[in-house]
Amino acid sequence: MKPTILSIGNATKDNFLDIQNQKIYKDELNDFHYDLTFDDSTLNYQKQAGVYGGTILSEKIFTAAHFKAFSSANPNGTSHFEYDEINSNLIDRFIVSYKGKSFILTSNPRSTKWVSPAFPPDLIYIADANFSQNYLADFKKYLRENPKIELVFNIADLIPELAHEFFIRANLVFVDFRKQNLSDLIDYSSYENAIDSLIKTGVRGVVIFDGSKIIAGNKEKIASIETNFELNSFYQNNIFQAAFVAENFSNSSKLEENLQVAVTIANKSDFNDILKPFYAHQILNRKNYELPVDVLSNTPDIETRLHKTAAKLVMRPKGIFAADESGGNIHKKFETIGLEDTFENRRAYREMFFKTPDIENYLSGIILFEETTEQNTSEGINFVKYLKNRGILVGVKLDGGLQPLTGFEGETISLGLDSLIEKLQKYSKAGIDFAKWRVAFEIDEEKGTPSEAAIASNLRVLAQYAKACQNYGIVPIVEPEVVYSGKHTIKQCREVTEKILKKLFEELEMFKVDLKGTILKTNMVLAGSENEIQSSSREVARETVSIFKKIVPKELAGIVFLSGGQTTTQATDNLQEITNLGPFDWGLTYSYARALQMPALQAWAGKPENVQQAQLLFLERVAANSHALYKN
């Protein structure tokens, strides 16, 4: 969602004067001077008058980019505002240019009053910093009253004391590399160091002007572009600055494109008309229009990488294939087809799925068992590398399985925390993108399970695992499964699932786990497999979604469902009904194992000649579940 933007400062009426050569002379010290006598000779200037500038210019640009925008001149954000109505409050400015350099000739700032906008904006863009003292005092008071407002400004426009004061609120700042303002704070030894020193102050984005070069950077990337503003450098720089703000807050992840669009808007605008972003994008798509961008560095920080990976994993229409069966589980599957459980058979079984044509169109990620990360294709290519080359993110199951919870009959605790850090060190170096950890709870009314002790101890393990994963840049999938087998009703499943999820998010919060870089893998709410009354898909969807809306924080990256013993069609039908109740605040998809594998496993039966038929069945199930992510 785009932020609301308020442009502040003076509203101006700008007159552009292009100095002729005959107006330049040298004094006895050989210094250049400008003849700025305003008499009849000014008729020799190339003059463009009546151009609105300052806050009016930036408000127009933000509005054209479809932001909710308003300004000091138009504090109510009135559509199609007639700026002629405030003509008496406009400041006349003369912008004098000679050979690309511009200078502003204007009077002292008027004693304009700060007018609070109709509602607090998300961002305040300081379009013109020629503040009167009264205006500045009231503006600072407004900021104190609205502590969540962030600022965007050009450091060169502010006195050092004010720039320092505003840094605590800064989201995006502009810097003149040649002026080297605030050298006590900014390391001007290189573009990269200047941007890094500003990012460390809490600023999220930086744009540097250095002659004809513009450099933009954030925590993740630094890129540069060459400009050639031939109309008027002052005017076009102001357009670029506001246009880049608009593009940055429309899509902050596309740094290079934002630079290109903003420069194109500035290049193609004239004094009477500012190019709209829509047309700038069309121009950039022309084959004969080139505007190269150089990427100076591209090193995503851990937080950004976590958020991007998590978002990609749950992006519709793709799901996650859980190919992480432990030794015991895969042994049982092989018994059903009469196949010996050997290292080579397990490798061939995985390869059959991983080499299925077109799965990258339906799968965002695949979870591997630890053994599988060391295995290769029949051509000798490691599975991790092979999948990544197909554009599929790779995860690994990190829990060590379940063991009985001492003192609590029929309940379990997950193992593996003692070796977790060692594994994370290994897999972060191997390029693993995400991980999964499962804990399990059985509902048994007679035994009183799951107990509070089992819930608390297992969810504490999940939270510790999640935090450790994020410290190594690996997205954690937390899986607190309420097991499908049992006689419990759908109501009992709902009560237990709700209790577990509520406690889970309390634990995650306590361990300061970043929810934007976390995925929940959970069961659907449905009656146990041994209950005489089985749940309909609509019941499953209604009960499941009601818990999510009540318990799951909006910040969570996404939710993925386990199939948990449901039949292949049952898992797909239930997913479809859940989708029909959307949209949701989080990404939502599937992370099935058996519901995707079983038809293919039976068709394969361990025979090479059956691989192609098995792959077709696997692709059919993957595609069916991806289609179920759209409402029908």
Q: pLDDT band for 124, please (50, 70, 90 cuts).
A: very high
Q: Which amino acid is at 66?
A: H
Given a cut of 90, whether residue 324 has pLDDT beyond it is yes
Q: Distances from the Cα of 362 to the Cαs of 1, 216, 317, 366, 579, in angstroms?
A: 27, 35, 6, 11, 16
* Contact (Cβ atoms closer than 8 angstroms) between residue 606 and residue 345: yes
> Any residues with CB less than 8 A from the CB of 56 and at least 6 apart, and which?
11, 12, 71, 73, 83
Q: pLDDT band for 84, please (50, 70, 90 cuts).
A: low
Given a cut of 80, whether residue 17 has pLDDT beyond it is no
Given a cut of 90, whether residue 271 has pLDDT beyond it is no
pLDDT of residue 39: 47
> Any residues with CB less than 8 A from the CB of 421 and at least 6 apart, and which?
468
Token code pair at residue 413:
């605790």
Q: What is the mean pLDDT of the chain?
A: 89
What is the distance between the alpha carbons of residues 260 and 265, in angstroms, rounded to a whole number? 9
Token code pair at residue 244:
């880049």
* Contact (Cβ atoms closer than 8 angstroms) between residue 599 and residue 618: yes
What is the distance between the alpha carbons of residues 403 and 473, in angstroms, rounded to a whole number? 29
pLDDT of residue 100: 58
Higher per-residue confidence, 18 vs 402: 402
Higher per-residue confidence, 482 vs 135: 482
Higher per-residue confidence, 503 vs 252: 503
Q: Which amino acid is at 41?
A: S
pLDDT of residue 331: 92
Q: Which residue carries 């506001």 as its tokens?
A: 242
Token code pair at residue 580:
């029909």
521 has catalytic annotation: yes
Tens of pLDDT, residues 441-490: 999 998 999 999 999 999 999 999 999 999 899 999 999 999 999 999 99
* E strand spans, 19-118: 24-26, 32-34, 46-54, 69-71, 91-98, 101-105
Tens of pLDDT, residues 295-316: 998 776 788 889 999 999 999 9
Tens of pLDDT, residues 533-582: 999 999 999 999 999 999 999 999 999 999 999 999 999 999 999 999 99
Residue range 10-15: average pLDDT? 78
Residue range 139-165: average pLDDT? 92
What is the distance between the alpha carbons of residues 245 and 247, in angstroms, rounded to a whole number? 6
User: Which contiguous run of DSSP H or E holds residue 389?
Assistant: helix 383-389
> Any residues with CB less than 8 A from the CB of 337 and at least 6 apart, and which?
601, 602, 604, 605, 606
pLDDT of residue 43: 42
Given a cut of 80, whether residue 32 has pLDDT beyond it is no
Token code pair at residue 456:
């608390």
Burial call 603-622: b when 16+ CB within 10 Å, e when fewer: bbeeeeeebeebbebbbebb
Q: Which of 210, 217, 257 is nearest to 237 (CA)?
A: 210
What is the distance between the alpha carbons of residues 354 and 365, in angstroms, rounded to a whole number? 11
* Contact (Cβ atoms closer than 8 angstroms) between residue 576 and residue 626: no
Given a cut of 80, whether residue 16 has pLDDT beyond it is no
pLDDT of residue 99: 63
pLDDT of residue 496: 98
Q: Distances from the Cα of 517 to the Cαs of 247, 400, 429, 559, in angstroms?
A: 25, 23, 19, 12
Residue range 376-396: average pLDDT? 94
Given a cut of 80, whether residue 51 has pLDDT beyond it is no
Given a cut of 60, whether residue 41 has pLDDT beyond it is no
pLDDT of residue 40: 45
Hey, what domains does the chain have and what are their CATH numbers?
55-81+113-299 (3.40.1190.20), 304-627 (3.20.20.70)
Catalytic residue among 333, 397, 423, 521: 521
3-state secondary structure of 337: coil
Q: pLDDT band for 130, please (50, 70, 90 cuts).
A: confident
Given a cut of 90, whether residue 394 has pLDDT beyond it is yes
pLDDT of residue 310: 97
What is the distance between the alpha carbons of residues 409 and 1, in angstroms, rounded to a whole number? 50
* Contact (Cβ atoms closer than 8 angstroms) between residue 45 and residue 18: yes
Residue range 238-247: average pLDDT? 95
Residue range 155-174: average pLDDT? 90
Given a cut of 90, whether residue 31 has pLDDT beyond it is no
pLDDT of residue 23: 57
Q: pLDDT band for 27, please (50, 70, 90 cuts).
A: low
Given a cut of 60, whether residue 33 has pLDDT beyond it is no
Residue 104, Cα to own-chain centre: how many angstroms? 40
Higher per-residue confidence, 47 vs 355: 355
